[in-house]
Amino acid sequence: MRASVVICTHNRAKDTVEAVQSVLAQEDHDIEFEVLVIDNNSKDNTKELFQNADWPNQVRYIFESRLGLSYARNRGIREAQGEFIMFLDDDALASSSWIREVIQVFERDERIGCVGGKIDPIWEGGKPDWIPDEIIGLYTLMDFSDQVTEMKPPYFPFGANVSFRKSVFDSIEPFREDLGRVGNNLLSSEESELISRIREKYAIFYTPYGSVQHKISKSRLNKRWLLRRMYWQGISDATRYNKSGWGVFKHIVRIAQAGLMMLLYMNNVQKVMSQLVKISYRNGTIVGSLRNGRGLNT
């Protein structure tokens, strides 16, 4: 089997159905692939929709009781039978040539261990004007290059559209389970941490052709969600790099500097948001550092 598409989901039954349908609508019928729906302890009707509906045999429903995105992703890696493991977010839609385009990049060189793809937005209600362009990636959007190219440090793909050569996991541990989202918290960095380890032995590539669309729900299009997202990014980075509390003073200084910049930019909403985002990130980093690098899944 060429590919295993893994869709991890938690309480997003309707979106997950649409994601699976987009994968099944691939235009290349000669590529053998499976779709693994990893239900991460959902409490909605996900189980009923995938156990009782008439899905093709290539769609497999798997229940993972341990709550946490990294647990679900690692379950998908263990269950996958394909040569390539392709992760698609449950609120994303694959383009009709997605699987073919990603596989073609892998086939260029056996040293390519990971391939990321373009992620376009579907803004529910439109993109708010107050979102600064420099932090748009926080909404899991990517437009890295207009051609197939290697992604070198510090760049890496995003989890809404990232694929791995399955054989890399013969010698490399999968996702760290003390990182990654658990329920409604926004802990992250499990993808970049894993890709950084893979990069030590393999090349990381990007393709604009193997693209997906990512739904940005209205619930995320408010300042509170964005600041909360950045706060958790700070916790994530402190956990990933095992930062201690000794650097807290540095973050306090940076917070004070951002506060002063806000006063200078009071009439520019985007610049004010940029500084608020920095403050939220530093606050999260302080909290994560005081936990001495212990993730919230442990």
Pair (33, 133) in one structural domain: yes
18 found inside a domain? yes
Range of the domain at 234: 223-292
Mean pLDDT lowest for which of 49-58, 83-92, 162-171? 49-58
pLDDT of residue 183: 64
pLDDT of residue 295: 45
Q: What are the beta bridge partners of residue 203?
A: 112
Closest CA to 117 of 249, 186, 210: 210
205 found inside a domain? yes
Pair (263, 119) in one structural domain: no
Q: Does pLDDT of 293 surpass 50?
A: no
Question: Is residue 154 reached through a cis peptide bond, with omega within 30 degrees of 0 on the bond before it?
Answer: yes
- Asked whether 73 and 180 are in contact (CB, 8 A), the reply is yes
Pair (100, 236) in one structural domain: no
State the total domains in the chain: 2
Q: Does pLDDT of 82 surpass 90?
A: yes
Pair (216, 228) in one structural domain: no
pLDDT of residue 245: 56
Task: Tell me 136's DSSP state.
Answer: G
Pair (190, 227) in one structural domain: no
Q: Which carries the bigger pLDDT value, residue 175 or residue 286?
A: 175
Average pLDDT over residues 109-125: 95
Report the distance separating Cα 36 and Cα 239, nearest Å.
29
Share of the chain above pLDDT 70, in %: 91
Q: Which carries the bigger pLDDT value, residue 105 or residue 179?
A: 105
pLDDT of residue 298: 42
Average pLDDT over residues 173-201: 82
**What CATH number does residue 142 fall under?**
3.90.550.10
pLDDT of residue 188: 57
55 found inside a domain? yes
Average pLDDT value for the chain: 88
Please tell me the pTM assigned to this model.
0.85
297 found inside a domain? no
